[in-house]
């Protein structure tokens, strides 16, 4: 039995690495569908593979890093013939999530995201700090190989960095929240009615405001806040992902409030909107979860204290005496 288990572990690890590579490459291809040209570089406002890679490392362990490398290699291969620059970009896209993972592990990050400190760690260490590596390597590679001029470097780097960071903030919470999904408490399918209704409402409102010339993008925020308060990250994170995808599509096609504006201005608006939505939902859901966990611990402590006090309280003797004839006479 031990030998069979030993033989099975390498195969399971290999299949896991293969699955990570496939998912990374597939989400990369989807991200490339909405790429824009910023300062001469083709960049996506939302790069999902960074969220996939970081969530995979946090949930499955560092052993799956070859899957990230293979997925990044496949994405670069789909863009054309491989070159030393393409290999360097793939290496940077692999190193970025690994750096984010190392920082989060050092900070004691918990994948449940049920503490405010975990939400802040994912934002600042996982997204902002870790993605400096991938965006820095990619932009520097383009500069060295002649794909960027010195005057275009900072614009391309900032767009690359925000796209990678948005991938972490928008995609990673969705994948991390899957492990906390529980069957609905109510009878039948009514337990899922509220999350599904919130997702449908988010899609409807986002589609409406991105097809009107009026700047009404803020109207989606009440739905996101409601989702975070009522369903926590499990229901709120998919709403943010759905809103972000619809907004990116509208911005890249310059539709609705993004019509008649420059691509840089549109990207700033999109990243500000997506970042604000992701931060609001992530931190609010973490605060709600932390508060509920605190209340639960207080209730358990009170119940334990009540049982302890009840066990230490002496019992008083009965207030009656027994007569010779066997009848009780109360005092």
The per-residue pLDDT for range 3-20, each reduced to its tens digit, is: 434 435 777 888 999 999
Cβ atoms of residues 13 and 42 within 8 Å = no
216 has a pLDDT exceeding 70: yes
Greater model confidence, 186 or 75? 75
Q: What is the pLDDT of residue 4?
A: 34
The candidate with the shortest Cα–Cα distance to 13, out of 56, 72, 74, is 56
**308: which residues sit within 8 A by CB, 6+ positions away?**
none
Average pLDDT, the chain: 85
Is the dihedral angle over the CA atoms 253, 258, 260, 264 positive or is it negative? negative
Instruction: Quote the pLDDT of residue 329.
Output: 47
Q: Is the pLDDT of residue 87 over 90?
A: yes
Structural contact between residues 128 and 162, judged by C-beta atoms closer than 8 angstroms: no
- Per DSSP, which regions of 105-217 are E strands? none
Residue 202 near residue 239, CB atoms below 8 Å? yes
In this structure, are residues 40 and 152 in contact, taking their beta carbons and an 8 Å threshold?
yes
- Does this model's pTM top 0.75? My answer is yes
Q: Which of 3-7, 38-42, 239-243, 285-289 has the highest mean pLDDT?
A: 239-243
Q: Helix 153-177 vs helix 221-252: angle between axes, to the nearest 10 degrees?
A: 130
Residues sharing a CB contact under 8 Å with residue 26, sequence separation 6 or more, in sequence order: none
Residue 152's pLDDT is what? 83
Largest CA distance in the chain: 113
Name the residue with higher pLDDT: 35 or 88.
Answer: 88
N-term to C-term CA, the chain: 74
Confidence of residue 316 (pLDDT cuts 50, 70, 90): low
């Amino acid at each position: 039995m031990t030998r069979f288990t030993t033989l099975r572990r390498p195969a399971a690890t290999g299949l896991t690495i293969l699955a990570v590579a496939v998912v990374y490459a597939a989400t990369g291809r989807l991200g490339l569908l909405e790429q824009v040209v910023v300062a001469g570089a083709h960049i996506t406002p939302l790069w999902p593979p960074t969220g996939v890679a970081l969530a995979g490392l946090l949930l499955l362990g560092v052993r799956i890093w070859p899957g990230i490398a293979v997925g990044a290699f496949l994405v670069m291969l789909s863009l054309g013939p491989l070159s030393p620059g393409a290999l360097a970009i793939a290496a940077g896209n692999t190193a970025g999530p690994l750096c984010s993972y190392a920082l989060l592990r050092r900070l004691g990050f918990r994948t449940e995201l049920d503490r405010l400190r975990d939400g802040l760690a994912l934002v600042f260490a996982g997204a902002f700090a870790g993605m400096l590596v991938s965006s820095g390597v990619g932009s520097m590679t383009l500069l060295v190989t002649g794909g960027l001029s010195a005057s275009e470097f900072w614009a391309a780097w900032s767009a690359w960095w925000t796209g990678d960071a948005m991938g972490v903030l928008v995609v990673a919470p969705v994948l991390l929240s899957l492990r906390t999904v529980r069957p609905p408490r109510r009878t039948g399918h009514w337990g899922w009615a509220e999350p599904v209704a919130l997702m449908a409402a988010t899609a409807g409102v986002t589609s409406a405001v991105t097809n009107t010339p009026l700047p009404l993008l803020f109207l989606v925020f009440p739905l996101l806040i409601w989702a975070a308060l009522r369903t926590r990250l499990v229901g709120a994170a998919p709403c943010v992902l759905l809103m972000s995808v619809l907004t990116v599509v509208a911005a890249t096609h310059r539709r609705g409030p993004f019509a008649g504006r420059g691509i840089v201005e549109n990207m700033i608006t999109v990243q500000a909107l997506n970042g604000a939505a992701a931060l609001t939902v992530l931190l609010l859901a973490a605060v709600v979860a932390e508060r509920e966990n605190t209340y639960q611990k207080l209730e358990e402590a009170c119940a334990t204290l009540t049982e302890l006090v009840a066990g230490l309280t002496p019992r008083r003797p009965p207030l009656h005496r027994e007569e010779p004839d066997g009848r009780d006479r109360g005092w």
